[in-house]
Amino acid sequence: MGKTITEVAKATGFSITTVKLVVNNKAKQYRISEKTQIKIKDYVKEHGIMINQVARSLKLNKTNTLGLVIPRLTNRFFSSLAQLLEQLCCDNGYQLITVCSGDSPEREEEVSKNLIARGVDGLFIVPSSKEQQLLSIKYARNKPIVFLDRNFEIEGQSTVISDNYAGFLQLSKAILKKSTSDIYLISGDNNLPSIKHRLQGFVDAHKDLKKTLVHNWIISVPHNQANDGFEGMKALHKELKQLPEAIVFSSLPILEGALHYLKLHYGVIPSQLIIGTFDDHNMLDFLPNSTYSVKQDTKTIVENCCSIMLSLLKNIHTKPANYVVKPKLIHRN
C-alpha cells in the first residue's frame, strides 16, 4: 500500500502533473481524457498511493504538525488536555506531537528545540520557569507559540490559563463556611504563578469572611508530586499531633501522597477530615470524606488554545490573546 506520486507517474507513463490532477479530482477541471483517468485510477486502485509528507513539508516549509510540551502525561489534567487537543488539532488538519518535560527546564529546552528542528508549525507549551518561557520565545522565532496553564507574566504572548485565584477563593470559602477556621494548606511548587494565585485565593477567602488564618497555615513542599504530599502530610501531622478539621491541597498528586500517609498511619482515611484540592478526579468518589475539588474546564481551555493557534498560523502578527478560564467547584457528600 502506498506508491509515491512519482512512482505512479513512471509506472503509468504519464507525467507527475497529470497523475496529481487525477488523484486530486481535478481531472474534470483540466479536461484530462477519460482513458488517461481510467488508466491512472486503475493503477492507484491496485497499488495504492501515499503522498510523502516529508517531501511535501520540505517543499512547502510547513509540516502540518504542532508540538505540545507538558510536564507529564501521568497527571490527569495534562493527559486529558493532550487527548482533547490532539483531537481538535486533527480536526483542523494538524498532527499534534506531545512531549514531556518532567518540569525540568533543561529537558523542556531540549524537547522544544527538537520539535522546532522537526519543523512543527507551532507550539503549545506549559513552561516550567520564566527563563524557559523566554528561551522558547527566542528559539521559536517566528513560529507561533501558545503558553498554557502557566504564565510567567511576559508581555506580548498568547496565554490560556485557568482562573486559579477564583477557584481556590471559592473552594476555601465553601470550606470555611462549613467548618471553623481550623484549616491548613499543603502546597507544592509555590514559585509557579498558578500556585501563587491559588494560595492568594486561599488567603483572601479568609479575609473576605473575616476569619483569621491558623498559625503556620501552610506546609510548603518542593514539587507537585505524590511523595511531596506524603512528606508534607507527615510534617503537618508531626506538628499538630492530630488532624485538623480541614486540609486543602494545591494539586491532586499532593493529595494522593498525603492520603497515602494517612492510610499508612491510621489504617484508613479518617472520614471526618474535610478535604479540598485543585483538580478533580472520579476517584474522589472513593473517599468517605466531604471533599471539595476545583475542576478545570479542559474543553474550553483546549478550544481557546486551538483557536488562538489557528489565527496565529494564518497570520503570525495577530494580536496576542490572553484567556482566563473559569473552573468549577465540585462538592462530594
**Whole-angstrom Cα distance, residue 209 to residue 206?**
5
The one among 11, 38, 51, 90 contacting DNA by CB under 7 A: 51
**Binder of residue 272, out of DNA, a second copy, none (CB less than 5 to 8 A by kind):** none
Q: Binding of a second copy at residue 97 (CB under 8 A)?
A: yes
* Range in contact with DNA (rule: CB under 7 A) among 55-63, 185-193, 233-241, 325-333: 55-63
Grid cell listed for 98:
506531545
**Binder of residue 30, out of a second copy, DNA, none (CB less than 5 to 8 A by kind):** DNA
**Binder of residue 209, out of DNA, a second copy, none (CB less than 5 to 8 A by kind):** none
Q: Binding of a second copy at residue 6 (CB under 8 A)?
A: no
**Binder of residue 73, out of DNA, a second copy, none (CB less than 5 to 8 A by kind):** a second copy
> Residue holding cell 503537618?
236
Please compute, for residue 187, the number of CA atoms within 13 A of its CA located in the half-sphere on the CB side: 24
Site for a second copy in 207-236 (CB under 8 A): 226
The one among 11, 16, 240, 316 contacting DNA by CB under 7 A: 16
Site for DNA in 28-47 (CB under 7 A): 30-33, 35-36
* Range in contact with DNA (rule: CB under 7 A) among 6-14, 130-138, 198-206, 234-242: 6-14
* Range in contact with DNA (rule: CB under 7 A) among 13-21, 99-107, 122-130, 160-168: 13-21
Site for a second copy in 30-89 (CB under 8 A): 50-55, 57-58, 63, 65, 72-74, 76, 79-80, 82-83, 86-87
Nearer to DNA, 20 or 332 (CB): 20
148 close to 161: Cβ distance less than 8 angstroms? yes
**Binder of residue 13, out of DNA, a second copy, none (CB less than 5 to 8 A by kind):** DNA
**Binder of residue 5, out of DNA, a second copy, none (CB less than 5 to 8 A by kind):** DNA
Stretch 248-277: interaction string toward a second copy, x if CB under 8 A: --------xx-xx--x---xxx-x------
* Range in contact with DNA (rule: CB under 7 A) among 56-64, 136-144, 163-171, 179-187: 56-64
The dihedrals phi and psi of 12, each to the nearest 5 degrees, come to -90, -15
Q: Binding of a second copy at residue 11 (CB under 8 A)?
A: no
The dihedrals phi and psi of 170, each to the nearest 5 degrees, come to -65, -45
SS3 string, the chain, reads: CCECHHHHHHHHCCCHHHHHHHHCCCCCCCCCCHHHHHHHHHHHHHHCECCCHHHHHHHHCCCCEEEEEECCCCCHHHHHHHHHHHHHHHHCCCEEEEEECCCCHHHHHHHHHHHHHCCCCEEEECCCCHHHHHHHHHHHCCCCEEEECCCCCCCCCEEEEECHHHHHHHHHHHHHHHCCCCEEEEEECCCCHHHHHHHHHHHHHHHHCCCCCCCCCEEEECCCCHHHHHHHHHHHHHHHCCCCCEEEECCHHHHHHHHHHHHHHHCCCCCCCEEEEECCCHHHHHCCCCEEEEECCHHHHHHHHHHHHHHHHHCCCCCCCEEEECCEEEEEC
89 close to 95: Cβ distance less than 8 angstroms? yes
Q: Binding of a second copy at residue 105 (CB under 8 A)?
A: no
> Residue holding cell 481556590?
168
The one among 11, 38, 55, 264 contacting DNA by CB under 7 A: 55
Binding stretches for DNA (CB under 7 A) = 4-7, 13-18, 20-21, 30-33, 35-36, 50-52, 55-56, 58-61
Binding stretches for a second copy (CB under 8 A) = 1-2, 50-55, 57-58, 63, 65, 72-74, 76, 79-80, 82-83, 86-87, 90, 95-100, 111, 113-114, 116-119, 138-139, 141, 226, 256-257, 259-260, 263, 267-269, 271, 281-288, 332-333
